[in-house]
Structure 1
């Protein structure tokens, strides 16, 4: 038995990072380790270049209640050749200088609608994280800044034999009560039969560099009946 911090992530729009190209940025179906640690850092008030060493020691499990429905958004982006004008004072000035030399392209952004996840965190000092999630320093997003949470995380600390048992104590949003999580993702252990690789272990947050992580995907049936502490 050990303490776990459990909380929910619900959002009308969510975007879980994938390999990002210029023309298309996709979304995976559940938030990875880097996204969870970044959200906790935002709650604590850490800047991207801040000290994440305590957070990097944490272990994370994610239960998927609803991975949402794919929504694709189309953007038009106008680019200006660098030779058109040097050091413009504004984008309109750069576009005016470029005249017919600018080019417009369509880029794609993928989102997940009405997603709902449960998160279990363990292996560190959990009380400051619980308090920070209750009164976050920065706005909490489930991915991009266009994806704020649609409900408070309802963070609480419980004692359990494992992350699956701990997630039974989640507090789901009132309009999602009674839903069941079918999948649980955690760090892979010896003996796990279904293991995938996820590129979500932070290496350099300023340069957006991430390492591969082995993730165990477990079939579960988590239906929380927890209430606010």
Structure 2
């Protein structure tokens, strides 16, 4: 088990005893009791865009980072580019669990986007050329992008050799963002390798920065089943990141009561 630096501490200490008890009582289904190596790390950001089903004018955000976001962040740490299909496919066997400690506050940003009717610009070399050719014959649309401010998550991944991923998070090749490039992490992810029978047990070892008071989790979103969980379906398994094609999966969701 990796030892954390002194600038981090466990979320299991401090306030939030009721939810801590609920977390300790969380049990996997019987077939999940074998010890497994988990990579556990923390995501803290002043601004986050977790993605959701997107329309032309709306870019929403979940209150937690989906599986595709976690794998994308790990790919960035390893230096895997979006057009590197074999490199991205190598991460697909990973299973993911996300504990939500703080969903933050919502923020909505508005943009105007200009689109060019086909009749106004024939086979332009770029969007800039199309706008120039179209002149005043453009359509302007008001779009909105949603963010969460002040989020805290702990993450457990398992299913591959985890040491290279731990090393990549310690020394990432590309800058790590929580969604968009405007959303850098506000603290190092503090990755650790933890041997545990299930993700919930491993996540109890997640380390939080000391500058940020962090309560126990409000919810756990996991690939692994649990006898306390409900099942949701999420479209967050990437089929082609260049074409932005995704398919669905089952997510096992456990929520915890507020402090008594």
Same fold (TM over 0.5): yes
* Alignment correspondent of 2:15: none
Q: Deviations over 1:35-85 (max 9, x none)?
A: 111110111011112222331111110000011111111101122233333
The structure in which a higher percent of residues are strand is 1
Q: 1:129 to 1:89 in 2, by over 3 A?
A: same
Structure 1 CA distance for aligned equivalents of residues 40 and 189 of structure 2: 9
RMSD, aligned CA: 2.0
Residue correspondence of structure 1 range 80-119 to structure 2 within 5 A: 80-86=116-122, 88=124, 94-119=130-155
Q: 2:210 aligns with which of 145, 168, 174?
A: 174
Q: Which residue of 1 aligns with 2:80?
A: 46
Gaps of 5+ in 1: 222-229
Give structure 1 regions of 4+ aligned residues with deviation exceeding 3 angstroms.
Answer: 85-97, 190-193
Alpha-carbon contact 2:101-2:214 (below 8 Å) kept: no
Aligned residue pairs, count: 221
C-alpha distance 121-193 of structure 1, shift in aligned 2 (>3 A):
closer
- Note closer, same or farther for the CA distance 1:80–1:164 as it changes in structure 2 (3 Å cut): same
Once the 2 structures are TM-superposed, how far is the Cα of residue 193 of structure 1 from its aligned partner? 4.5
- Alignment of 1:185 onto 2:185: no
Alignment partner, residue 17 of structure 1: 51
Taking a change above 3 Å as real, the CA distance of residues 219 and 92 of structure 1, as seen in their structure-2 partners, is closer
- The aligned counterpart of 2:39 is 5
Q: Is the 8 A contact 1:188 1:195 kept in 2?
A: no
Secondary structure of 1:56's match? Answer: coil
Secondary structure of the residue that 1:133 maps to in structure 2? helix
Which residue in the other structure is 2:94 paired with? 58
| Greater RCO, CA 8 A, separation 6+ | 2
